[in-house]
Amino acid sequence: MKAGRKKTIAIGSDHAGYAHREAIVRMLKRDGYRVIDYGAFGPVSVDYPDYAHPVADDVENGRADLGIVLCGSGNGVAMTANKHQKIRAALAWRREIARLGRAHNDANVLAIPARFVSERLAKDMVRIFLHTPFEGGRHLRRIKKIPLSAE
């Protein structure tokens, strides 16, 4: 990312994450981020992969710097995003988990369990995720072992 340029954030949620996603999008835009918002745009039941895959695609292909995905438990969107070879989605339910996802795992997608965290906590985790740098060092050696090599 070039110095001085605000990050581009891709975000998507299912119906369970809808309200938190709306609040996060407002916060990101207010803070000057470019947001690619895939919805869901209402509380009607939808399928989380339809929202997590586009976010992961954007991060994987460089259209977004980082991604945020939300569903009821956070598990479905994390599993979906992590199917993409270049994605490291971190499921976080506490501030420290969001920080460690970036600092130790160089996570590029944050997965949030909307039914288990408050809107305030979700926004706090997003801020922490966006502002925490990867520490590198011994952690780099470990994350290089995550992708399966082609056989």
Report the DSSP pairing between strands 89-91 and 34-37.
Answer: unpaired
Determine the pLDDT at residue 149.
Answer: 59
Determine the pLDDT at residue 150.
Answer: 52
Cross-sheet strand order for the sheet of 89-91: 34-37, 8-13, 66-71, 109-113, 89-91
* Catalytic residue set: 71, 104
pLDDT digits (tens, 9 = 90+) for 98-138: 999 999 999 999 999 999 999 999 999 999 999 999 998 88
- The pLDDT-based confidence of 151 (bands split at 50, 70, 90) is very low
Is the bond preceding residue 111 a cis peptide, omega within 30 degrees? no
Assess whether pLDDT exceeds 50 at residue 1.
Answer: no
Domain ranges of the chain: 8-143
CATH 3.40.50.1820 fits 8-143, yes or no: no
Report the DSSP pairing between strands 109-113 and 34-37.
Answer: unpaired
Task: Between 61 and 151, name the one with better pLDDT.
Answer: 61
Residue type, 96: E
Name the residue among 98, 84, 64, 99 with its Cα closest to residue 146. Answer: 84
pLDDT digits (tens, 9 = 90+) for 2-48: 456 789 999 999 999 999 999 999 999 999 999 999 999 999 999 99
Residue 149 CA from chain centroid, whole number: 24
